[in-house]
A and B are shown apart, each in its own frame.
Chain A
Amino acid sequence: MPSTTADHITTPSHSSSFNLRSVQSDESRICVVMVGLPARGKSLIAGKAMRYLAWVGIPAKVFNVGTYRRSNTPQPQATFFDPHNEEGERMRRAAAESAVSDMINWFHDDESKGVVAILDATNSTKERRKWIFEKCRDADIETLFVESICDDEDLIMNNILEVKTDSPDYKGQDPELAALDFRKRIRNYEKAYETIDDNEKQYTYVKLINVGSTVIINQIKDYLSSRLVYYIQNLHIKPRSIWLSRHGESEYNLTGKIGGDSNISERGEAYARALPSLLRKSGVPPNTKIVIWTSTLKRTIQTARHLKAETGFEKLEWKALDELDSGVCDSLTYEEIADKYPEDFKARDDDKYNYRYRGGESYRDVVIRLEPIIMELERSENVIIVTHQAVLRCIYSYFLNVPQEKSPWMEVPLHTLIKLTPRAYGTEEKRFKADIPAVSTWRGRGLLRSIRSFPLRGRRMRRVLDGLVAFVGVGVVGLNGFIGGSSIPKYCNFEL
């Protein structure tokens, strides 16, 4: 007879509660263990994997051993990392121990419902990996080792200059000196570094060699690991930027209608003309090739028209970048919707992320259809995406880790170019506003139209403000006049 393990088994029967106690997670819990020398993009991969998982709704957290070590030795010298420096070795071991123990607690904490933890450290010796593997095994957690190997010196140096000199270890130090110290630190690690080899073939691991040009995947034992590997395989660590823009103001924007496939307005056309110079102003390194992505709707294609003509950049149209489908509400104004479908209007405010328009889509649906886009974005280098408000919110949330309950309420103004640059310790964001007026299409929760429902009361208002603060926290542009109440937008259409 089949043996029984506690995990996925229903509780014994006989009682009427046969099925009640059994609603349990059928996901395995995984500890992703990063392996590799410094400046191989480990933190970048760890951070990205965490954001990706959160974006698709899987609770994930990065445990960075460096952070634990830093709390004791904020800015150590390279000699600290010499394997013969016993004091350094002891402290690094202590840091790893506290990180692993915090991680296991996080998995077992009912509140965090942890599914994937990412242990970000060099984990460069077999001994260390064995120790982690056993710790996890004893706590009933699967391990997935992810090793990044790179012998392209230029790429490593580039990574050091781009990324490591921003690292908390070198805050406020001369970048040149910092880079030099960092190379020394790497040499110390190299002395003790052991790559994952056949003696460790019982482990589940992925080896990424030279930015994924060769990938070795060993002993994948569950679906979630395969999905993670799939994601990681799409990543690269070359420096690049991604630009996001909504389409220029459309004719529907002017009349307050949602959805549809209208042309851009005169002001929208002005934005389209200004886009090439706005892009230049945002800082494009010389000889950079950028690919333009648009949706298949007229307003984004028209917005990118001049950019393509002036630069000659390649352009791709994606159906997946089309605006959230508002089903029966397509081409209606917010007032018409509130009139015709009052219940829907309210249901949407209550849970905007999951609300699905009749015959249309929800934000959750959009995230699912954007999956190929995200994978393709990760594989690409410089890309400018001209798309729509709801889609842009979803893509933006992926890069900046905006939680699901906030992302549908974020404000993304028209005629503004957002530049995102992935860094090891997060995504850097800059916004560039074209000096071309446009209507605002942002609608706060509970707002029917502009000032009529204003002010919001109590909790609801606070939630709106939370959303705004989170939004400003990651950005560099100020708010529009909404909070101060000075310039309430004239048209405040029911935005997607």
Chain B
Amino acid sequence: MDTLLTAEIVANSPQFRRKSSIFVDAIHDLPEKADLAPAQLYSTESGRLFHSGRIVIITVGLPARGKTHMSVALARYLRWLGVKTRIFHLGDYRRATIPFGEDMPDDYFYVNATASSVLLRQKIVRKCREDIYHFLNHENGQIAIYDAVNPLASGRRSLAKEFAKHDIETLFIESWCDDEKIIEENVRRVKISSPDYVSWTPEDAVQHYLTRISSRIPQFQTMEEKDLNYIKMINAGERLIVNNRSFGYLSNRIVFYLLNLHIKSRRTYFARAGVSVDADSYKADASLSDQGEDYAKKMTECLMAHRESEKQAMIDRGESGYELRPLKVWTSTRRRTVETARYLYERGYKVRQRSQMSQLNPGVCEKMSEKKIRAEFADEVAKHELDPYHHRYPRAESYHDLAVRLEPIILELEREENDLLIIAHESVLRVLYGYLMACNAADIPFLEFPRDEIIEIIPESYQNEASRIHIPDLPEEIIPASPEDLKIPVPPSGVVSPIQGLGSPPDGQGTPQSGYRTPSGIRTPREPERISQQHVEDVV
């Protein structure tokens, strides 16, 4: 086969796309410069954290066991912690190597495959592995996630040996499932949306897919290798078995994260709190104003209508009897966020208050005008402009502080199995959105959540998707900025696209030159974003 030439494999290997918009989940991005870690607490001189060295996480499990979902979620969390992490999906390499339209050989996964299939397999794996070495050795990477089936113990042992030769630790994570329901749901959700199954009924498609897997990969050995470091996740986190040969800090931390992860798909909505009576005061913790009440009502109606239409759309698509997941509401303990949830509460939805979700503490800048801040804290303003993510005003919190404080919320967010509406201050929404969409930390302080939009985030196994739902008929003056927000330099609120060059203060343009918040609050109209999935799921 001509396609086996290594040169071609190199030419065809997956290209990581560059980040183009903050509305795209950046989890598969290759940042050009050193990442600014959202919640990094400190680093060591090597740039790698916790004296942990370099680790390859190797997934193990048949298709439709949630491996890709787990890899992506884990990468998201590790990057959030500041650990330089990248995912290598072997499937991407396979697809890049086998020409479009051509099937892989039937015996591709067989133990006793033909020579040509073995060769093909080896070449694909080799290219993937070379990329992993390059990332860990030359790009200061700390964790590479190698996402593949790895069905045989012998193969796993030789992988571990191979990486050990390069002084790289291995940690295997197996997704193991004996609950047919979980497997079926997974197949339905991520596997049979492919063009191959267009005219099939979901039931037939699931059956066909599962039969194909078992004929393709007849042999699968669950992990029992006591000499390897592994974590076996049983039935999507119901039980974890940890075989700890030499777990370091990060491996234990990964177990901690996995204990909070599930593979169910659910939506997260973000909404702002309504305007309050004494909006500028942080300490006053005022109640909603009449306009705020009006907003709370309209936001609730809008969300309800949206969910109803989503449900209808699913039923129209042939999923008769489709039910939405129940909705839960989280608010901070601040009065106006709780009061914004009132109409949802009256409709019978559970409302939970989370003390960690209170807004960025503005410190001494509370109630001060921008002009006054500039006059009184000129040096602080200058520092802030250089690093808006880490800088804190006197007695205030930085976004970094807020991110560290929000870590329990992030883990509970992963743990939650119901749809979730988060009503919080813009600063909190920025940080949570930054986590879910893997935003560069430098962009986080500038993310925008105008009051007339509810953000909806839908997790797909390969990446998250964000879209914005417009809340109609709100008075113009409550929409653009946050009246209760910090009166500190922020870019013009008319800016919609990500602000170019924000992350590169060295060129002397730490923040946009074009002035700060425009008083008129004019915004460019925007279409709801929906980014189509670029990664095609494996139909093995």
Contact = CB atoms under 8 A, between A and B. Distances in A.
A214 B240 CA distance: 10
Interface of B: 41-45, 49-51, 237-245, 247-249, 252-253, 255-256, 259-260, 287, 326-328, 333, 335, 338-339, 341-342, 345-355, 392, 394-395, 404, 408, 411-412, 415
A158 interface: no
A286 interface: no
Contacts of B242: 214-217, 233
Contacts of A296: 45
B342 A13 contact: yes
Contacts of A227: 256
A381 B256 CA distance: 22
Contacts of B245: 213
Contact of A219 (B239, B342, B412): B239
A319 interface: yes
B360 to A, nearest CB: 14
A205 to B, nearest CB: 10
Interface string A292-318: 000010000000000000000000111
Interface string A2-37: 101100111011001011101110100000000000
Nearest to B409: A223
8 contacts: A2-B327, A4-B348, A8-B350, A26-B355, A218-B240, A222-B415, A223-B408, A372-B50
A276 interface: no
B524 to A, nearest CB: 36
A370 B337 CA distance: 33
A492 B436 CA distance: 49
A376 B251 CA distance: 12
A219 B242 CA distance: 14
A410 B345 CA distance: 48
Contacts of B345: 9-10, 12-13
When A and B form their complex, which 5 residue pairs have the shortest distance between CB atoms, in order from nearest? A230-B256, A1-B348, A19-B338, A226-B259, A215-B242
Interface residues of A, number: 52
A365 to B, nearest CB: 8
A375 B347 CA distance: 45
B346 A13 contact: yes
A26 B352 contact: yes
Contacts of B355: 23, 26
Given A8-B350, A220-B260, A223-B415, 17 more contacts: A10-B353, A18-B338, A18-B339, A18-B342, A26-B353, A26-B354, A214-B241, A215-B240, A216-B240, A217-B240, A217-B255, A218-B240, A223-B408, A226-B259, A319-B42, A369-B41, A379-B249
Contacts of A448: none
A217 B235 CA distance: 13
A16 B243 contact: no
A278 interface: no
A19 B255 contact: no
Contacts of A24: 353
A19 B339 contact: yes
A234 B252 contact: yes
Contacts of B352: 8-9, 26
A22 B338 contact: yes
B412 A223 contact: yes
A2 B353 contact: no
